[in-house]
A and B are shown apart, each in its own frame.
Chain A
Amino acid sequence: MKLLWLEIFKTFSRWRTYIAFGFIALIVILTEIVMKLSADEIMIRMMRSLQKDFLIFGNLLNGWFVTAFIMNSLHIHIPFLITLVAGDIVSSESTSGTVRLLLIRPPSRSKIITVKYLTSLFYTTAIVLFLACMSIFLGLALFGSGDLIMNYATRFRIVFIPEAEIPVRMLLAFAAAIWSMTVVASMAFLFSTLAENSIGPIIGTMAVVVVFFLLGNFPFDFFRALSPYLFTTYMIFWQRFLDDPIPWQEIARSAIILGLHNIGLFLIAFVAFNKKDITS
């Protein structure tokens, strides 16, 4: 535990760790201000088709809707913010030379690499939670509360979630989002273990995430057949918690697949770090 605390302290002592938090705050604030200013247009656009046949009453553009809206861009900007730290956490020790001081200490390499991994997971959790808190609290303050309408346009259905159910579903959705992002952290962590500098792991991880996302969404049969094998396909399973009924089996399957990725990536990093010769 002490080692973990020291590693977390080291990570959060660096100003670059706070880039992510600043960026998230900026994105959330800007998004919510723009949505507040364009509230009417947004709701009209979103409910255009329904408005032809239904009269719609109530506070649709509420804090929960805004939060869900922001969450939908989670897989675009959060992975990059995660790689800034997870992709640097091991390789920076080589770059700075502190690895020589670190690895001659009594704690084993296994403990050190495990603690660093847990720190990157902690950081991942922290930034997603920060996003959650900022989105929800600012959203509720600006837009108030209400029921949540989820328009799953690509599946051509609308889901209506009563206000009373939203907090628990949101909690589960964010927990799932954290779980999704830990795979990005694990990948960046692995690359960081294998590299001697941080640029490679950061760019490498982002390249993999972006390419996998694209491959999984090309509208051709070959890529559709490929998509079940890409971890990015399962990364947005948090959306299922805002569905009705909640597809628990699909969620469990996605969570397990992502978990297996985490385990595999960590194990490779674990073995590589234990066998690594420190020549720098």
Chain B
Amino acid sequence: MVLENRVVEEMKDSLQKEVVLRTHGLSKKFGKRWAARDLNLEVHRDDVFCFLGPNGAGKSTTIRMILTLLMPTAGSIEMFGMDLHKNRSAVLSRVCGIVEKPDFYLYLSAYKNLEILGSMTRRIEKEKIMETLEVVGLKARAFEKVKTFSHGMKQRLGIAQALLTKPELIILDEPTTGLDPQGTKEVRELIRRLSHDREMTIFLSSHLLSEVELVATRMAVINRGELIAQGSVSELLGKEATEYSIEVLPLESATELIAKLPWVKVLSAQNGKIKVRVEPGHSSELNRLLVTHHIGVSSFSPHRTLEDFFLKITEGTSEI
């Protein structure tokens, strides 16, 4: 039994490492401008992969190329080990996406929209459609025309159409755009559920870094059409200097001690708290030094954000 469990765990690990989406040198030129250049992305199975970048960086262009809405100027896209353009039908039957805001046939009901869109992939039973609408909280409005729906309801319907055909990979372009905080929270929860409960791989782009930080397992950062970072969140953030907030007593002694250390920078010191930025790998040493110099440490909290990382690398102030 123990041996079997171990084998299962190893198989799970192996599966988790499977690359579901891979791009090789993916590029797109509009006129003379490169919107995306030489992108080499890797999305692993069960990842919640976040694609970050400033406005106009090339995120939507990349997602549109992956979803065959744009023709790449160069490069290739592979999904589930198959070339996308050579096996388009087979690949896209396992993928679903929402690009920008989801738009539907406003003159048709929610049910009819799902029936039409879903049946373009495979035969969908009526019960399945109603079930999916229930998951996104739209069952009561199933037979009303979509033109009567609010933006949030359309967003939920968009997610419903993405879930309907049980895709293995869901691609979301700015899924929380235009949503209120409650809507944003629901989308975030849904993304978590899709990843954990339904074992779907999620590839999403977003501007809301705080949200991304809460859901993403791996991410890539693009700026001016070029990939500038890719990896797991912890890996990427771990390479950066981390800010800490330390409650110390006496404050002056601690400040004096820390100021002498080359791998620490004091950011502020007041009200019994000192904020410092510590180079990677030195946080435990700092803690030990404070203790050995008889400085009381009542809390030592990291203050490391994705936003900081993002701003640094997109402004070119960090070397990765």
Contacts and interface: CB of A to CB of B under 8 A. Distances in A.
A19 to B, nearest CB: 14
B143 interface: no
Interface string A91-113: 00000111011111111100000
A105 B108 contact: no
Contacts of B104: 98, 101
Contact of A277 (B70, B107, B112): B70
A155 interface: no
A278 B69 contact: yes
A278 B120 CA distance: 19
Given A6-B116, A103-B69, A106-B92, A13 B107 contact: yes
B117 interface: yes
Interface of B is mostly: loop
Contacts of B67: 103-104
Contact of A105 (B100, B102, B105, B120): B120
A101 B104 CA distance: 8
Interface of A is mostly: loop
B224 interface: no
B89 interface: yes
Contact of B103 (A10, A13, A15, A96): A96
Contacts of B120: 3, 6, 102, 105-107
A101 B88 contact: no
A100 B99 contact: yes
Contacts of B64: 277-279
Contacts of A101: 102-104, 117, 161
A45 interface: no
B93 interface: yes
B261 interface: no
Nearest to B97: A104
B105 A96 contact: yes
B141 interface: no
Given A101-B103, A101-B104, A106 B88 contact: yes
Contacts of A105: 92, 117, 120-121
Given A97-B103, A105-B92, A277 B71 contact: yes
A52 interface: no
Interface in B71-110: 71, 88-90, 92-93, 95-97, 99-108
A105 B92 CA distance: 6
Contacts, number: 70
Contacts of A277: 64, 69-71
B155 to A, nearest CB: 13
A97 B116 CA distance: 16
A2 interface: yes
A67 B245 CA distance: 90
A108 B105 contact: no
Interface string A1-36: 011001001100111000000000000000000000
Contact of B93 (A15, A106, A278, A279): A106
A275 interface: yes
A158 to B, nearest CB: 50
A108 B107 contact: no
A108 B70 CA distance: 14
Given A6-B119, A6-B120, A107-B120, A275 B71 contact: yes
Nearest to A92: B105
Contacts of B117: 101, 105
Nearest to B171: A104
Contact of A106 (B100, B112, B121): B121
Contacts of A6: 116, 119-120
A278 B92 CA distance: 17
A108 B88 contact: yes
A105 B70 CA distance: 14
Nearest to A96: B103
Nearest to B71: A277
B253 interface: no
Given A10-B108, A10-B116, A108-B88, A103 B68 contact: yes
A101 B96 CA distance: 9
Contacts of A104: 67-69, 92, 95-97, 99
Contacts of B93: 106
Contacts of B68: 103-104
Contact of A278 (B70, B89, B101, B103): B70
A275 B72 CA distance: 11
Given A101-B161, A106-B89, A96 B119 contact: no
A10 B105 contact: yes
Nearest to A104: B67
Interface string A48-84: 0000000000000000000000000000000000000
Interface of A: 2-3, 6, 9-10, 13-15, 96-98, 100-108, 275, 277-279
Interface of B: 64, 67-71, 88-90, 92-93, 95-97, 99-108, 112, 116-117, 119-121, 161
16 contacts: A3-B120, A6-B116, A6-B119, A96-B105, A97-B100, A97-B101, A98-B103, A101-B103, A102-B120, A103-B69, A104-B68, A104-B97, A106-B90, A106-B93, A277-B69, A278-B70
Given A103-B69, A105-B121, 6 more contacts: A97-B101, A101-B104, A101-B117, A104-B99, A275-B71, A277-B64
7 tightest Cβ-Cβ pairs between the two chains A and B: A97-B103, A278-B69, A105-B120, A106-B89, A104-B67, A106-B92, A106-B93
